[in-house]
Every structure is written in structure tokens, then in C-alpha cells.
Amino acid sequence: MNKAVFLKELALYLNKMKKEDKDRFITYYDEMLSDYIENGMSEEDAVNKIGDPKRVAEELLESHDSVKIEIPSTGSKFLNIILLILGFPLWGSLLLSGIIMIISIYVLLWCLPFITGIGCFGFFLTSIIGVIGSPFIMFKSIPFGIIQLGTSIISVGSSILLGIATVKISKIFININKKFNIKLVSLFKKKVVIR
Amino acid sequence: MKIKSFKKKAIMLSLIFILTGTIIFIAGFGFLGFNNNRLKEYAYNDTWYQTIHVNSNNELWFGIEFGDDIHLFTIGKCD
Amino acid sequence: MDIQLKKGLLEFCVLAVLKKSDSYGYQIIKDISTCIEISESTLYPILKRLETGTYLETYSLEHNSRLRKYYKITEKGKDYMNEFLEEWKQVMNIYYFIKGEQNYE
């Protein structure tokens, strides 16, 4: 690598820096290389003595104190506000339909645990009444009473199962909810880049 | 049986209930000779503490009925 | 050697070289290299720091149709160096103490 190429590459790796600082660095290394060459070293050797431009740039960036805070900007504020107001019919309705879609998906999702929850409760109620009623039914007809007792006990079991299912499904949905919320919020947070 | 998790215990319990209930149910039904119609005979006079009913189309349904109008929980068609 | 320690010491090596006479990048490296190893990339931030602290000043002279940047030590820089030497006299004493102690083992 010759001097010109080295300096060009170095400049490339340093382009994150402020212009004044970058120029000072390049001047420094230009001068250094020139001195080495003037004192008998070959261009190749001089460049090798200094090292790999990428590594040099990394070291410089590390020990360098300049902090450039970039907030990605999207044009003048005033213009943006005007455009926002003018475009309201478009983005407003899109936003609204987006919100409604999200709400309906929520409702749909939560229907499931709602159903299992109601089922759990209903079975439980039925089983209580069934168990209480079965001895009375037995006065009417014993087999019938026994049948009722049997179904009641099955109901108890079903109720427990549905209860467990409801709890489990609810947990899963709450998790999904959380993840979605985090993603949504991160979309709106502006990214500030500090160099 | 040592089952540590509460959830697993609950599931076990519910399965036992279902099993027991089914056995009793089959026993009772057996007395009636596994005859649906005989079951329906008894199901006509609805009392509030009865959980097995018959509707106007002579079909069985399972659930809670208070009087003629209030149904709390039904599986199957009622009225 | 500990890198922070080395960087601290090199600062004063630079000032020492400049105390003898004004100098420029290449020459500074050459002189310091007789005592301790220093790279061009290490020298730059040291020079910058010393300049920010006004321990040295810079000026440019033309040399073979290009501009060469020269560094010159200031009074503040000389005082700074003397402070260092005073402090490290203590270090030297401790050094001989420790060394001496070992002989009496």
C-alpha cells in the first residue's frame, strides 16, 4: 500500500468524525509518512510501520473525545407540520382502521379464554345443583338419580379442566400482549445516535 | 403418587372425577337398560334440581333450568 | 507495563524531548524510541492532550515545499514536568527501599 492509498483509506474509516478533527489526523499522518520517506524509508515500509489503516482509525476513534450527537432528522419542522395537517384525511383514516383492526384482534383472541372461563363456571354450577338434587331425584327413580349424580361428577371434572385451560390461555395471551406493546412503543421512540 | 406441580395435581383430580362420574353414569344408565327413551320418561317433570331435561322436540339436554324461562347453563337445545 | 501508566509516562517523555529543543512528530518518535517504545498512533493523542492543557504550543514551518508542524514546550509545561520529577523522587526512594529491603532478607 502506498502513502496515498493509506491516507485515503484512513480518511474513509474516520468519516464519522468531525471534519476539523479528521483533517488534523490526516495531516499528522501525512506529515509523519513524508518524514519517514524523506529519511530513507520506502513508502511501503513507512505505511507498514504505522499499521493497518482500519486499526489505526479504531484506536483514534476510541481515544478521541469528540462526541457527535445525531438525531436523525426528516426535514424542516414547519414543512412537516403543514404536510401532516394536509394529509390528515389519509393518514387519519388509515390510523383509525389500524386501531380498529388491532382492537378487533384483541377481542377475538380474548373470546377464547372467556368461553372456557364461562364453561368452567357453568359446569361447576350445574354439578353443584346436580349433586344436591340427585338424592331427591332418587325418590322418583333411582337409576335416574344415579345418572344425574354421574353427570354431575363428570361436570366437576370438566369444570376443573376448563378452569386450568382458562388460566393457561390467559397467561399466554397476556404474554403476547406484552411483547406486542413493547414492539409498538419501540417504533415510536426516536433513535439518538451518539458517536 | 408424588406429583409436585399444583397444575398437574389438578389435572389428575379432574380426570379422576370424570372417570368416576362416567362409571356412575354408566351404572345408572345400565339399570335403564341403556335405553334413551326410558330416561326421557323420567325427565318430564322438570324440577329445579334436575339437570337432565327433555325439550319439546323430545331431545335431551343438560343444564340448569329455573321455572320455564330461566336457563342458566345449557348443553343441547332447550325449548 | 500497565497501559495507563505507560501513557502517563510518555506524556513527560514528550515534554522532556521538547525541553531540549522544539521538535516535530517524526523526530519526537525517534528520540523517545531510544528509551521506550512509542507508536505514531499513541503519540497523537498525547500531543493533542498536552496542547489542550497548554503545556505546549504549535507552529508550522515550511520544509521541502510542504508544511511541517512543530511543537514547543511552554512555561506551564516545564512546571508540569518539574512537578512530575519531584513526585517521582519519592517513588525512587520507595523503589530503593523495597530493593534494599530484599537484600536484607
CATH code where residue C64 lies? 1.10.10.10
Range(s) of the domain holding residue A104: 100-194
Touching subunits of B (3+ CB pairs, under 8 Å) are A
Among A13-27, A79-93, B60-74, C8-22, whose mean pLDDT is lowest? Answer: B60-74
**Interface residues on A facing B, Cβ-Cβ cutoff 8 A:** 122-123, 125-126, 129-130, 132-133, 136-137, 140-161, 163-164
Going by pLDDT thresholds of 50, 70 and 90, the confidence category of residue A1 is confident
Cβ pair A164:B21 closer than 8 A: no
Q: ipTM of the predicted structure?
A: 0.83
Q: Which of B10, B45, B62 sits opposite A160 (nearest CB)?
A: B10
Domain identity same for A115 and A186: yes
**What are the residue boundaries of the structural domains of chain B, listed by start?**
1-34, 35-79
Question: Is residue B18 predicted with pLDDT exceeding 80?
Answer: yes
Domain closes at, from A51, A66, A81: A66
Could you give the CA distance from residue B11 to residue B2 in angstroms, rounded to a whole number? 14
Cβ pair B49:A150 closer than 8 A: no
Specify the pTM. 0.46
Q: Residue B13's closest CA among A152, A164, A116? A: A164
Among A49-63, B26-40, C35-49, whose mean pLDDT is lowest? Answer: B26-40
Range(s) of the domain holding residue C9: 3-103
Number of domains composing chain A: 2
Domain identity same for A59 and A112: no
What are the C-alpha distances in Å from C92 to residues A122, C86, C88, C103?
Answer: 89, 10, 6, 17
Domain identity same for A118 and A183: yes
Domain identity same for A119 and A56: no
Q: Is A83 part of any domain?
A: no
Alpha-carbon gap: A72 to the closest alpha carbon of chain C (Å) = 30
DSSP-derived letter for residue A191 is: P
Cβ contact C–B (≥3 pairs, < 8 Å): no
- Sequence-distant (6+) residues with CB within 8 A of B8 are none
Touching subunits of A (3+ CB pairs, under 8 Å) are B, C
Cβ pair B49:A125 closer than 8 A: no
Mean pLDDT for chain C overall: 89
- Sequence-distant (6+) residues with CB within 8 A of A52 are none
- The pLDDT, as a whole number, for residue A195 is 46
- The pLDDT, as a whole number, for residue B57 is 74
